[in-house]
Amino acid sequence: MSPPASNAPASGTPMIQVVDLHKTFGDHKVLTGINLTVPAGSTCVILGGSGSGKTVLMKHMIGLLKPDRGQVIIDGEDIVPMGVEALQKVRNKFGMVFQAAALFDSMTVFENVAFPLREHTKDPEDVIRQKVRARLDLMGLKKEVEDRFPADLSGGMRKRVGLARAIVMDPKVVLYDEPTTGLDPITTDYVDEMILAAQKELGVTSVVISHDISSAFNVADQIAFLSKGVIVASGSPEQLREADHPAVKVFLETWFGKN
């Protein structure tokens, strides 16, 4: 099933390279030799069962966890040996979209999306207004939504506000942690479209953690399947469908078997 990402953009030099990554908690070996390359501008979905280590892998990508062994190269730099300050600079290249939209309930939609700009830039108010509007536009959120509070929005709209906030600083990489979990099929499709829009319009590199196979096949250039601490299959959605690893087959049958 290798090399992965055969349908990634030809110009896509690696944005993320994970090399022989190992991580053990106590005597629990969670990652036992992960190798993964995500070309710039492409979308990689990490699929795998519950507890297979997807979140642990993602946390290594932003330096929230240090591995026992291995490299995590982001945009040409190995972040594993980095200290807090250097890591913060690398993290500024990332936007994050969490499972729960993680919006501030006491702030309006506008203030939620403006928050990273107010925290990390000296942008004047008119520039902030323009950037926030542009990102909300990209997510299909109209002007009248700006003054509403998260509690007054549907789950799908909250996700889109979360994504608008994740991309307001023009990140090079967006990490999505289970972006469609708990959403109905129509809202899931809509969130998939937003992920694709962010990739197409902004050229971001995306890593999506998911156990939603349908969504994975919608958005991925590359799917990496994690099982028992290693990536057992990796390639385009079409290649993954042909994979003969038993864990992948069982996982895909739960969805394709029903459709």
In Å, what is the CA distance from 122 to each residue of 107, 114, 116, 141?
20, 12, 11, 25
Comparison of 53 and 116: residue with beta carbon closer to ligand ATP? 53
Q: Are 224 and 47 in contact (CB under 8 A)?
A: yes
Residue 12 CB, nearest distance to ligand ATP (Å)? 26
Cβ-count burial of 22 within 10 angstroms (0-12 exposed, 13-18 middle, 19+ buried)? middle
Residue 30 CB, nearest distance to ligand ATP (Å)? 4
Residue 58 CB, nearest distance to ligand ATP (Å)? 8
Comparison of 48 and 179: residue with beta carbon closer to ligand ATP? 48
The contact set with ligand ATP (CB under 6 A) reads: 25, 30, 48, 50-56, 211
Comparison of 159 and 211: residue with beta carbon closer to ligand ATP? 211
Residue 213 CB, nearest distance to ligand ATP (Å)? 13
Q: CA 111, 115, 116: angle at the middle one, nearest 5?
A: 155
Comparison of 34 and 117: residue with beta carbon closer to ligand ATP? 34
Q: Are 140 and 194 in contact (CB under 8 A)?
A: yes
